[in-house]
Amino acid sequence: MLPFSTAFLQKSVLRKSVIAWTLAVSVIASPVLYSSTSDAATAVVAQHEVSASEYSQFLQSKFKISVNNGVTRGQYIQDLATALQLTPEKSEAKFTDVPTSNKWYNAAATLSENDILSGTTVHPNQKLDARTAIYFAVKAAGLKELAYTYPPAKVKTALAKLSIQPSTLSTQAGQELAVAVDSGLLPKSLYSSVQAAHTASPSATFVETVLGQVLKFKGQYKHYLGYTSDDDIYAKLQDAYNTSRLIQAPELQELANKALEENLVTGYNVKDNRYEANFIDSLSLNYGHDDIKHAVQLIGLLRSEGISAKVQFEPKTSAFIYLKEWGEPKSTEDYHVSQIANGNYIANAKEYDLAFEFANTADKNKFQKVILAYAKKDSEDQKGLIYSSWWQPLYYSQTALKDYDVISNNKITQGDYYVQSFSLNDKSATVAAGFKALDPSVKVDRYQFWVDGPFFNYLNGDSK
């Protein structure tokens, strides 16, 4: 059986060095930086401000949220609860205008439990106004306490950006609007919707942007280091890789190691779902490798081909059987081996996935053409490839792509960590049954996805 490990894959064909897999401990940074309206703050220009259409696409793709003009308070409350993935726990909230049988009750109760909705009235059928949307958003984004630190002078300075006099608002409302301005929760593009003379209901664009902004503040929007076109993307990649370590998930790895020893699987990955990009599936794919120099050159290659994409660094740890005839292995900080009963070893090495979200499906489709031309090795001394190109590069998509093959993922999750092992589709049920035999309580999530042809060939036993 062939081991599912790109480390082993390259070792068996190219060299006796092994692949490293990563646990990045660097902070996942959003590329969107909003300038503070405070006189004391340093202005920072947003390099890539998220558009309303992108928020709309995300909300529809992830949550089936479709916002129309003239949204009601009840629908907005429901959309907030849905986007934040909140459900009521106590269901003890009491509202004078929303009984427990009302369709808006669960959402209202959830926001009440999370200190987003206060009071005993909801007014679910009332048209939403822009300022009320922001008052909800401030609390949902976790800015309430910050807002209530604002003294009158600070409120006045912030509200001047909106052409609003503080005297026209309650103290609390003024503080909440002010913090929305200063923090960037309310982008400049939406200022006109909350200005003094504006009384109409907010547009769908306004609501979608506010919902998206709340998700960003909660860390529930997309996660990415930046764009391929950013001047600092190379430094961010280097930092993520250099500060990474092997992932430690002892209980999961103990089970997966048993599967390795019994030849149930030939290799597996460990990942931390807190680093997942949360990209839109139809626009994204993942690319796996071990060498950071390769990643830097890959970004440069995409730029040279006119492909712009968001980039996230997703760490992995790869595990596979290291055969004793390969020689005595040496453990390092990024590569650890432990001997098993038959004299072989289980090796753990650090590697990474680069998650890309492309601007459009055309660029996603173009990715394979670029890889096969400049990052796929076809002969031992081949020239004209980027550094450390592999015989079988690994990249995959959660949605169908022409000229890709379908394989299966066999995934076990525990808390923030998961183990996954890729297999041919006709082997997936056997893998899942084997895990269940080792631990009847385990739940194996099996699903199919699309992978590049060279890696599919590798799973079928083709070394090149």
Averaged confidence pLDDT in the chain: 89
3-state class (DSSP) for residue 444: coil
Residue-wise pLDDT for 322-335, tens only, equals 998 999 999 999 99
Distances (CA, A) of 333 to 21, 69, 244, 246, 248: 11, 55, 10, 8, 13
Distance CA 150, CA 58 (A): 33
Q: What percent of the chain has pLDDT over 90?
A: 84
> Residue 7: is its pLDDT beyond 90?
no
> Residue 226: is its pLDDT beyond 50?
yes
Q: Which two tokens stand for residue 268?
A: 């597996």
Q: Which of the four pLDDT bands, split at 50, 70 and 90, describes residue 90?
A: confident
Distance CA 248, CA 251 (A): 9
> What would the 3-class secondary structure string for 49-73 be?
CCCHHHHHHHHHHHHCCCCCCCCEH
> What would the 3-class secondary structure string for 97-158 be?
CCCCCCCCHHHHHHHHHCCCCCCCCCCCCCECCHHHHHHHHHHHCCCHHHHCCCCHHHHHHH
Residue-wise pLDDT for 156-181, tens only, equals 999 999 999 999 999 999 999 999 99
Distance CA 8, CA 459 (A): 12
Question: Tell me, what's the pLDDT at 5?
Answer: 52
**What average pLDDT does this structure show over 83-102?**
89
Question: Tell me, what's the pLDDT at 410?
Answer: 98
Q: How many CB atoms sit inside 10 A of residue 245's CB?
A: 14
> Residue 41: is its pLDDT beyond 50?
no
Whether the Cβ atoms of residue 123 and residue 73 lie closer than 8 Å to each other: yes
Instruction: Report pTM.
Output: 0.87
Residues 6+ apart with CB under 8 A from 18: 7, 8, 11, 322, 335, 347, 349
Question: Tell me, what's the pLDDT at 161?
Answer: 95
More confident residue, 93 or 65: 65
Q: Which two tokens stand for residue 295?
A: 């990643």
Q: Which of the four pLDDT bands, split at 50, 70 and 90, describes residue 227?
A: very high
Q: Which two tokens stand for residue 122?
A: 């909801």
Rg (CA), the chain: 26
Q: Which two tokens stand for residue 144?
A: 């309430």
Distance CA 337, CA 329 (A): 7
Residue-wise pLDDT for 42-56, tens only, equals 332 345 789 999 999
3-state class (DSSP) for residue 271: strand
Q: Which of the four pLDDT bands, split at 50, 70 and 90, describes residue 246?
A: very high
Q: Which of the four pLDDT bands, split at 50, 70 and 90, describes residue 197?
A: low
**What average pLDDT does this structure show over 199-224?**
94
Lowest mean pLDDT among 23-37, 226-240, 396-410: 23-37
> Residue 356: is its pLDDT beyond 50?
yes
Would residue 113 be called left, alpha or beta, if left means φ above 0 and alpha means ψ between -120 and 50 degrees?
alpha
Q: Which two tokens stand for residue 199?
A: 């009384």
Residue 414, beta-bridge partner list: 417
Distance CA 357, CA 360 (A): 8
Question: Tell me, what's the pLDDT at 449?
Answer: 98
**What average pLDDT does this structure show over 420-444?**
97
2 φ, ψ (degrees, to nearest 5): -85, 140
> Residue 388: is its pLDDT beyond 60?
yes
Question: Tell me, what's the pLDDT at 196?
Answer: 63
**What average pLDDT does this structure show over 122-140?**
96
Closest listed residue to residue 161, CA positions, set 182, 176, 141, 143: 182
Q: Which of 84-93, 199-208, 402-411 has the highest mean pLDDT?
A: 402-411
Angle, helices 292-304 vs 361-374, to 10°: value is 120
Closest listed residue to residue 248, CA positions, set 145, 113, 376, 348: 348
Strand boundaries in 163-236, DSSP class E = 226-227
**What average pLDDT does this structure show over 62-90?**
94
Residue 407, beta-bridge partner list: 449
288 φ, ψ (degrees, to nearest 5): -105, 145
Residue-wise pLDDT for 12-35, tens only, equals 433 333 333 222 222 233 333 323
Distance CA 454, CA 250 (A): 32
Q: Which of the four pLDDT bands, split at 50, 70 and 90, describes residue 198?
A: low
Q: Cα 122 from chain centroid?
A: 33
